[in-house]
Structure 1
Amino acid sequence: MEKCLEIEQQLPSFMKDFSIYLKNGVALSTRLAYLSDILFFCKYLINETDITTASQVTDITVEDFNKITAKNINRFIGDYCSRYTVKDDTSIKIMENDNRALGRKKSSLSVLFKFLYRDEIVKNNITDGFNPIRLPKPQPDAIKRLEIDEVAIMLDIVSSGEHFTEGEKKYWEKTKLRDKAILVLFVTYGLRLSELEQLNISSFNFNRGEFRIYRKRGKEVVMPINKTCETVIKDYIENERSASSILDDEHKDALFLSLQNKRMTTRAIRNLVKKYTSIVLGTSRENGYSPHKLRATAATSLIQQGFSIYDVQNLLDHDNVTTTQLYAAHKKNVKREIVKNFEWIDD
């Protein structure tokens, strides 16, 4: 939130309504990504083009933006963004973006220019002239996830502390119940990282057997809680989590706390997941799986257990069932099982 507000203050004043639109219309992480891309584009206009004579971003005018054509955007994305340099006092870095990163920048600018056209700030809708960016189609075999037996090993590790060094075990002793609750929630519900990070004590109603999460676009959803999740969460709250009475007001309700008694950041949660999955996979911490891979793990595990792809789509909040079908492709020997149990003629 603070980063979003900081960027918004650096943008031209005519984008004020666009900032309000993002605030109410998209998830916080998406809002930050869009604003970052737009600020980067505005700096490009100043430093790399003659479209504006402004010396700082706040000085860019509506008239400047009305000069921008689709060709300018295509050159920015296809030429400049694919490879550019960043200079500071001590070094020069060469930055490169793949098609996925370029696609996000295109999306950010498309949303901006459509909004400005809708609000009659710019005269033309130039987005129809943006060049397409081909993204690799995800293949089932490329989806990384843990197998069911690997999930069991991971949960054993978080319970036993096996494979940790003596130094690591000192920290593990203080966080093992928290870590287990986090991992169980990920592999049971396939939560997104932001959904887990935002969980509060007040999100849970154990008497009714449910908890609330906030999906993309701020959508509030009530989820049923099973016995495993209820057990590990209560165990953490009652036996490891610091009492709310000693916490700062902004962290009193946060479910998952750091050792500094603050709400865990998305980076800390991501590093935690990488740590445990790297041990299971026998690889370095850097090559451990991200929380999104545990989301894929939950999806494939549920489908392998026989649940409908439509039920899994509902649970994971996939916008399109074709996304869920990618995970369904991992169900082993499904064709063989179908025809084997569908004989028309008996021996």
Structure 2
Amino acid sequence: MTPDRAVNAYLRHITIERGLSDHTVAAYRRDLGIYREWLGARGVTDLTDVTVELIAEFAAERAREQPAPAASSLARLQSSVRGLHRFLVQEGLQEGDPSRALQPPRAPRRLPKALTIAQVEQLLDAAGPAPGAAQPGDEVGLRDRALLELLYATGARVSEAVQLDVDDVAHPAVLRLRGKGAKERIVPVGSYAQAALGAYLTRARPELSRRGRATPRLFLGARGAPLSRQSAWLVIQQAAERAKLTAHVSPHTLRHSFATHLLQGGADVRVVQELLGHASVTTTQIYTHVSVEALRDVYATSHPRAR
């Protein structure tokens, strides 16, 4: 099978059968495009001709590139290649898996950065007016406040939040989120987020919707179109600038803060796992390390014989 046909078949597989998100599929497409071009430059027209040595050479060349790629980028690239060849073997299109011996570089373990509770409150206040303080013309501000309140209240990924439909908020106290692999989960919504969402739905969304074509999406842009991930990212960045936060604030910051504050408040790690939509508790346990680090900092600065 030609590299082009193989890659296209694999992308259809992960899109339709595995239900991976558009963002993940796009990352696979980019990575496999690099692999396909590299094979083409070496005259490989049939993936059955790919050997263990050839894949090892591909991985080595990528690692030697300048500027040096991040370990996480190399790991993702190699994971894409391994996934492609495993798929071909499973489909009976390739007898052996030449990528089986490929060992991806181990990315350094980095603890997620969380804001303090006070910083979260600053960020939310800077996003838009409180539900009871909004004035006519504050539609975008009400939307921004509702978006950030919801992200912090539920731990939703930004991609999950912008994919919400109005029907997903059928009950004000709970929310239906669609995570990776199209898996659904139900999460509770706190009173502050409920109030912000209620104000947005009754006082802002009807006006935003009037400006564009009808859509079931919950969060709308200033012209009435569904809010994009990039626009949601800008909302967070602009709120952080207005709040004058010196800490780095990214689209995942409120999700990290949600998990960290729950664990610091005594929540069980498996409950947090369910709320975050993690397939494995191992992924969630990184947040327990954040809490331990915080305890160590408090101990080091508070105990008279800590150092």
Question: Would you say same fold, with TM above 0.5?
Answer: yes
Equivalent in the alignment of 2:303: none
Match of 1:254 among 210, 217, 233: 217
| C-alpha displacement of 1:97 | 1.9
| C-alpha displacement of 1:81 | 5.8
What secondary structure, in the 3-state scheme, does the structure 2 residue paired with 1:83 have? coil
| C-alpha displacement of 1:245 | 5.6
Equivalent in the alignment of 1:21: 13
| C-alpha displacement of 1:17 | 3.6
TM-score by length of 1: 0.74
What secondary structure, in the 3-state scheme, does the structure 2 residue paired with 1:131 have? coil
Greater Cα shift, 182-191 or 14-23 = 14-23
Alpha-carbon distance in 2 for matches of 1:158, 1:245: 23
Cα deviation per residue 1:166-202 (whole Å; 9 max; x = unaligned)?
xxxxxx9441111111111111111112111101111
Greater Cα shift, 260-269 or 37-46 = 37-46
Equivalent in the alignment of 1:143: 112
Residue 39, structure 1, aligned to residue 33, structure 2: yes
Q: Is the 8 A contact 1:186 1:291 kept in 2?
A: no
| C-alpha displacement of 1:261 | 1.3
| C-alpha displacement of 1:156 | 2.0
Residue 323, structure 1, aligned to residue 283, structure 2: yes
Alpha-carbon distance in 2 for matches of 1:260, 1:44: 43
Alpha-carbon distance in 2 for matches of 1:274, 1:70: 45
TM-score by length of 2: 0.83
Match of 1:100 among 62, 69, 72: 72
Q: Cα distance 1:198–1:46, how it changes in 2: closer, same or farther (>3 A)? A: same
Q: Is the 8 A contact 1:179 1:272 kept in 2?
A: yes
Q: Is the 8 A contact 1:27 1:217 kept in 2?
A: yes
1:1-347 equivalences in 2 (<5 Å) = 12-23=4-15, 24-25=17-18, 26-47=20-41, 49-52=42-45, 64-80=46-62, 82-83=64-65, 96-138=68-110, 142-159=111-128, 173-206=138-171, 209-243=173-207, 244=209, 247-249=212-214, 252-280=215-243, 282-283=245-246, 288-331=248-291, 332-333=294-295
User: Quick one: which amino acid aligns to residue 236 of structure 2?
Assistant: V
Q: Is the 8 A contact 1:185 1:229 kept in 2?
A: yes
| C-alpha displacement of 1:131 | 3.1
Q: Is the 8 A contact 2:129 2:142 kept in 1?
A: no
| C-alpha displacement of 1:28 | 2.4
Equivalent in the alignment of 2:302: none
| C-alpha displacement of 1:265 | 0.9
Alpha-carbon distance in 1 for matches of 2:262, 2:50: 49
User: Quick one: which amino acid aligns to residue 218 of structure 1?
Assistant: A
What secondary structure, in the 3-state scheme, does the structure 1 residue paired with 2:252 have? helix
User: Quick one: which amino acid aligns to residue 116 of structure 1?
Assistant: L
Among the aligned pairs, what percent are the same residue? 25
Alpha-carbon distance in 2 for matches of 1:294, 1:336: 22
Q: Is the 8 A contact 2:86 2:97 kept in 1?
A: yes
Higher relative contact order (CA 8 A, sep 6+): 2
What secondary structure, in the 3-state scheme, does the structure 1 residue paired with 2:159 have? helix
Q: Cα distance 1:159–1:271, how it changes in 2: closer, same or farther (>3 A)? A: closer
Greater Cα shift, 274-283 or 311-320 = 274-283
Paired residues in the alignment total: 287
